[in-house]
Amino acid sequence: MQRERVSENVYWFQSDVYAQVTAGVVVGPQWAVVIDTLALPDETIGMRDFIERELSVPVRYIINTHYHADHAWGNCFFPDATVIAHARCRELLEERGLPSLEAARRQNNAFRQTRIVLPHMTFSSGELTLRVGKKNLTIMSALGHSDDGIAVLVEEDRVLFAGDAFMPLPYVVDGSLEDSAASIRKIGRMGLENIIQGHGDIILRGEIDAAVKENLVYLTNLKKIVKAALRRRNPEEALAGIAIEDCGKSRVHLGGLAEALHQRNLRALVQQWSEDGAKAKK
Residue ranges binding Zn ion (CB under 5 A): 68, 70, 164, 198
19 vs 192, which CB is nearer to Zn ion? 19
Q: Give the residue with the Cβ less far from Zn ion, 9 or 75.
A: 75
Q: Rounded to 10 degrees, what is the CA torsion of 134, 60, 159, 55?
A: 80
To Zn ion, the closest distance from the beta carbon of 255 in angstroms equals 11
- Report, in angstroms and rounded to the nearest whole number, the Rg of the chain calculated over CA atoms: 19
The amino acid sitting at 226 is V
Amino acid type, 31: W
Q: How far is the CB of 232 from Zn ion (least distance, A)?
A: 32
Burial level of 240, CB count in 10 A (0-12/13-18/19+)? exposed
Closer CB to Zn ion, residue 68 or residue 249? 68
In the complex with Zn ion, the residue whose CB is nearer, 242 or 257, is 257
Residue 14 β-bridge partners: 2, 22
Minimum CB separation of residue 171 from Zn ion in Å reads: 8
Q: Which residue(s) pair with 184 in the sheet? A: none
Q: Identify which of residues 9 and 148 has a Cβ nearer to Zn ion in the complex.
A: 148
Residues with Cβ within 8 Å of 8's Cβ and at least 6 positions away in sequence, in order, are 157
A 10 A CB-CB count for 124 gives 11
In the complex with Zn ion, which residue's Cβ is closer, 21 or 27? 21
* Minimum gap (Å) between residue 198 Cβ and Zn ion: 5
Find the shortest distance in angstroms from Cβ 74 to Zn ion.
13
Yes or no: say if 111 and 104 are a contact pair by the CB < 8 Å rule: yes
Rounded-to-integer distance, Cα 15 and Cα 257, Å: 14
Q: For residues 158 and 192, is the Cβ–Cβ distance under 8 A?
A: yes
**Among the listed residues 70, 34, 35, 39, the one whose alpha carbon sits nearest the alpha carbon of residue 52:** 34
How far is residue 49's CA from residue 52's CA, in Å, rounded to a whole number?
5
Task: For the chain, give the number of residues.
Answer: 282
Q: Please report how close the Cβ of residue 240 comes to Zn ion at its closest, in angstroms.
A: 26
Residue closer to Zn ion, measured from CB, 19 or 118: 19
User: CB of 164: closest distance to Zn ion in angstroms?
Assistant: 5
Nearer to Zn ion by Cβ, of 66 and 135: the residue is: 66
- The amino acid occupying position 147 is D
CA distances from 249 to 101, 155, 222 (A): 33, 31, 10
Give the nearest distance from C-beta 18 to Zn ion in angstroms.
9
